[in-house]
Amino acid sequence: MIMKLKVPVNSYEAAVKQIEAGADEIYMGLEDSHFNRMSYSARAQITSQGVHSNLRDEEFARIVEYAHSKNVTVDFTANCQHVTNSTDDFYREGFLEYVERGIHLGADALIVADIGNLIALRKRGIQTPIIAGSYLSGFNRETVDFLKELDVFRICIPDQVTFDEIKAIKKHTDLEIEIFIGYGCSNLAGVCNFCHNNGEKINVGVPCRAKFKMKHNKIANILDACPDCAICSIPKLYDLGIDSLKIIGRETDCREVAEITRMYKTAIQMYAEAGKIDRKEIISAIPWWENNMCHDRCKYENTSLLQSYL
């Protein structure tokens, strides 16, 4: 089975571009009338840059129809971490209705990132397959087994897991394994309170990539430990049988994300057909990639960043 490429979608135009670029799976969320800017997915309905990350029902349904006509599956983002008790349980009820809307509109699987929500969905009788989101911190085999007991069929492994660790997890479990290949996070998923793109109107950018003044007035982006690229690792990920490679960016311009999708698709196809990849040729498709995303930002190669991992 060929390794799938899973990409974000925030409009019909984005869906068409992404699928043309080679997406095998897309993921997206819905707007919800409970909120003005926030949402039941892990991205705001409207970001500080004015980007609509989630979709209205009609556009969502249109995308599902188009995606299915191209044999592309649709994952539904129900990955908020903040469902808590509320008067008459309106908030959890709103979450469950949000999920039911997504299923009714044709979603094939759900991305869930909160244990309470995993339990509530099954109690409600919803049988749609569930992917455990990266906020559920599947760092090790024990956590993967723990999440399996909660009836998920796939685990999205967090950013900061090495290739050898993924290999150990993959060997251990029969669950599907999804990993990140694009822009990464410095902080562990679920243990980062520098929230961005969650509904704020202010522009905090990506705080872990900011510059800080340190001792002796030295200025550096000292928190930046983002692994951003997995191009060179495509052959070994393919051979390992990883089920899905995930690119993030529901808040990003779809043309930019589509370029990244196309680049990774080229790498996967090149390896599937020729048994090797031409890194230089692949990354030349995006002029800014080499300087910004390569070198010490490899996700799954033995760079100094990975050597600093505990």
Partner 1 sequence: MGTYEMRIDRLGFDIEQNYDTIQSFSIGHESCIIKFFKVIQQTDLLDFVRRQKEAGREIRIITPFVPEQHLDEMKEVIKSICKEECFKDSVIIVNDFGLMSYIHKIDENRKMCLGRSLLFSFDYAPWGHKIYENEPEKIQKVVAQINFYDDEKMEFYRGYHVSEIEVNLTAGTIDSLKEIQKAGFKVNVHKGSFLYGTQRSCYIRRCSAEQNCCGTECEYAEELEIEEFWGGAGYYKKPDDIAFPNPLYLRGNQIYGKAHDIPCDCFDGIIVDAE
**Burial of 91 (C-beta count, 10 Å sphere; 0-12/13-18/19+):** middle
Place of tokens 């592309």: 72
The nearest distance, CB 220 to partner 1, in angstroms, is 9
- We find the least distance from the C-beta atom of residue 280 to partner 1, in angstroms, to be 25
CB of 261 to partner 1, least distance (A): 17
61 binds partner 1 (CB under 8 A): no
Contact (CB, 8 A) for 141 and 207: no
Which of 211, 278, 281, 302 is close enough to bind partner 1 by CB under 8 A?
Answer: 211
Collect all residues with Cβ–Cβ distance below 8 Å to 118 and sequence separation of at least 6.
112, 130, 132, 150, 151, 152
143 makes contact with partner 1 (CB under 8 A): yes
- Residue span 89-128 as binding mask against partner 1, x where in contact by CB under 8 A, dash where not: -xxx---------------------xxxx-xx--x-----
- Does 84 participate in binding partner 1 (rule CB under 8 A)? yes
302 binds partner 1 (CB under 8 A): no
293 lies in the binding site for partner 1 (CB under 8 A) = no
- Is 252 one of the binding residues for partner 1 (CB under 8 A)? yes
Cα 258–76–1 angle (5° rounding)? 65
Rounded to a whole number of angstroms, the distance between the first and last alpha carbons of the chain is: 33
Nearest alpha carbon to residue 241 among 178, 164, 153, 148: 178
Tokens of 267: 């790498």
Residues counted in the chain? 310
Write the CB contacts of 202 (distance below 8 Å, at least 6 apart in sequence): 48
Instruction: State yes or no: residue 210 binds partner 1 (CB under 8 A).
Output: yes
The minimum distance between CB 177 and partner 1, in angstroms, equals 12
Binding partner 1 (rule: CB under 8 A), the pick from 52, 101, 124, 141 is 141
35 binds partner 1 (CB under 8 A): yes
The smaller minimum CB distance to partner 1, of residues 92 and 279, is found at: 92
Of positions 70, 104, 241, 309, contacts partner 1 by CB under 8 A = 309
Q: How would you classify residue 126: left for phi > 0, otherwise alpha for psi between -120 and 50, otherwise beta?
A: beta
Report if residue 151 touches partner 1, rule: CB under 8 A: no
For partner 1, which residue of 162, 269, 290, 294 counts as binding (CB under 8 A)?
Answer: 162
Provide the β-strand partners of residue 27.
Answer: 8, 75
